[in-house]
A and B are shown apart, each in its own frame.
Chain A
């Protein structure tokens, strides 16, 4: 479940792997043949962008249309006079509020535990030299390769044995384990990016080791903590597979499970309400993602250059 964060791994690799820091405006050489060719490429880029955005555009516009305007022989590509009735019906669905609470609970618990655990572990691997350190890092990398999609039956049985099926705590256990490896990897890059010399300078100026850490390093790690928090949020909020396995009780559905239920209840009859549900789930996440994606990657690149 790490689709959203992986750029970091790769970016880290770029920086340390090629060891070349010179960042240039664009990598594709000189632009002497500007003019028409480049303009055509620009048009192509915009067309591709529209192609990629279209499903999202379609989701949002459909959410504002009543069924009779969706079921027309010719699709209505630029609809006007939308209605909010689809959204109203979603909010009237008691399942939505219940699922929202479950999702909120699971996400909050996962975030707190994962960030706390990952933070201290990242400090350990980045600021301490100890036997087994390299082994730990390799394990962290390899664990991410394990196909979680093959583990869910076993995870279900384990949680079942502990009475944690259909419990926020149970889902949290498997979520935390799933996102921890990557979160540690990511935070490690951030901690590496803060030179230990800064802290030492603080200590020369009379701060204690702890004081130096909290007054100097910790504030510099804030972007890293935010980035890993966002990563954890997106993972826990959007996750479907494990939720499907662990939360079998309809009353304990997370939002993605609720949405799937809505699709199955209304497919082919009422796409409008389904799209309203999808939009409600997607838009906050997309906004959140857009706001932090830039900072996430740029922070990671700068953190990664240090190696």
Chain B
């Protein structure tokens, strides 16, 4: 390779075993010994090229394209070559004047809030529990959480469908036999929207809690014991110590975790989609992700709806993101 002598810095050749030299658009520069500031800087940019190109192609371009299409009339006819017409905000107007769409948005926000709050509350409680119990109990809890966390989402969805099975599912049996609620013996959980969302919430919370537990637990370990002892000497009881010292100290962690929960729960797709396929009325149970998926044939509508979803995400998380960026030391 006859590249000019790029930077001396830590010019980073690809890992020695890289079998894909053909894939990299710009091979990393050949390191040279001379130090030249300009070349060094160029080297840094060259190192960024593969990542930037990959993200621009896989995410950036679809994002821009979708945004553009959302202002056009673009359906199946355009797929077959007819030029798309600009329609301005028509797609957005059509969506936002449809009360059904508002229903989807409202349900998505409600689902997101309920799930994020439940996940955070349970996760934080279990993290505190994990920090307080002895070694054996802690490891048991950690292993249990890790098992749930490591299970692939589709396997999870599959087993929960079996647990909630109306005829032979364990949950109906549990409700009917030991708990004596006879009406639940053959209950179909997915037919009715509220009960559908309850099942989805149980699954999403079950899957999301381990992550919260481990991160908050890692945060709890960082709280210095001296501070706690000082507070105790000053007469603060454990409840006060928790709310007035621990929580403020691990706030940065809680912040990030809560932000991620909101983002993930707002964009939830797989769980809802799979449960819908399991026999729920789709129209009454759509959330943003599945609704956009159902619009797949009307590209411009889907694009407009996806843009609305993006804006909604930014509105719900913008405050957090700004604060995080301010606090994060880059």
Contacts and interface: CB of A to CB of B under 8 A. Distances in A.
Given A16-B328, A29-B232, A62-B162, A113 B12 contact: no
B262 to A, nearest CB: 10
Contact of B313 (A48, A121, A147): A147
B286 to A, nearest CB: 12
A153 B303 contact: yes
Interface stretch (B93-101, B192-200, B292-300): B292-300
Interface string B147-174: 1111111111011111101011010010
Contacts of B252: 13-14, 17-18
A301 B217 CA distance: 13
Contacts of A107: none
Most buried by B among A27, A116, A123: A27
A279 interface: yes
Nearest to B63: A151
Interface in B128-145: 128-134, 136-138, 140-141, 143-145
Given A20-B222, A147-B313, A151-B59, A120 B50 contact: yes
Given A41-B137, A180-B54, A128 B24 contact: no
Given A29-B228, A150-B289, A53 B144 contact: yes
B260 A6 contact: yes
A4 interface: yes
A254 to B, nearest CB: 10
B158 A154 contact: no
Interface residues of B, number: 145
Nearest to A158: B62
18 contacts: A7-B215, A17-B253, A27-B246, A29-B228, A38-B132, A42-B133, A45-B137, A46-B140, A51-B144, A55-B148, A55-B206, A118-B51, A121-B51, A150-B305, A225-B15, A234-B150, A245-B293, A307-B329
Contact of B214 (A7, A124, A152, A256): A7
A178 B59 contact: yes
Most buried by B among A3, A30, A174, A288: A3
Contact of A237 (B12, B152, B221): B152
